[in-house]
Amino acid sequence: MNKLTKLNRIDSKIKYSNPFWNYRFDHYTYPNGNKGEYHYVETNGSTMIIPQLDNNTFVLIRQYRYLNQRESIEFPGGGIKLNNSPIENAREELLEETAYKADNIEKIGSFNPFNGVTSEICLVYLANDLTKAIADPDQSEEFEIIELKKEMIIKYIQMGEIWDGMTLASWMLYSTKKL
């Protein structure tokens, strides 16, 4: 196997920052000495949670996604907040978005949602032994909580009703874990 070319970073700067991510650009050199720029989004990472009820039903949310101007069916999740561990973040997102708490939560995998554009790593958790609680969504979030059996999740994926990439990747991690 050929060794892939590594770009050597000269410097890195933040062009824009908000509470959720930094927009960075790096200057780098190619092995031949030419210089280039790389622009990307840097985050604290994110968590996705697959909440599974006792009757083999899964809890998802339907929400409006501004950038695509359409509704999306997704597993709960969000960016890792400062001073939160990934597991704490997963528990908070589960409660905020679904009004459930989990007695049992386990990491089942991780992925990068768009590795040419962001350095983000999303950690995926399976949550079992769920109990109802009171939701506390962020001000900018509005959800409809839906419960779907495995067969309906697969059907919605095939129909394009579930189109969120992070939900699709999380479902794949869950599906391969259960094989």
Check whether 4 has a pLDDT greater than 90: no
CATH homologous superfamily, domain 46-177: Nucleoside Triphosphate Pyrophosphohydrolase (3.90.79.10)
- 137 or 129: which leads in pLDDT: 129
pLDDT on residue 1: 58
Q: What is the pLDDT of residue 69?
A: 94
Q: pLDDT by residue (tens digit) across 16-68?
A: 999 889 999 999 998 889 999 999 999 999 999 999 998 889 999 999 999 99
The structure's pTM equals: 0.92
Order the strands of the 144-149 sheet from edge to edge: 70-74, 57-65, 144-149
How confident is the model over 111-120, as pLDDT tens digits? 999 999 999 9
User: Do the beta carbons of residue 52 and residue 32 sit within 8 Å?
Assistant: no
Number of C-beta neighbours around residue 119 at 10 A: 15
What pLDDT score was predicted for residue 30?
Answer: 87
Q: Given this model, what pLDDT does residue 124 score?
A: 98
Give pLDDT, residue 31: 84
Fill in the amino acid letter for 46.
S
Confidence grade of residue 142 (pLDDT, cut at 50, 70, 90):
confident
Instruction: Give one DSSP letter per residue of 35-104, joined into a string.
Output: EEEEEEEE-S-EEEEEEB-TTSEEEEEEEEETTTTEEEEE--EEEPPTT--HHHHHHHHHHHHHSEEEEE
The domain locations on the chain are 8-42, 46-177
The pLDDT assigned to 179 comes to: 62
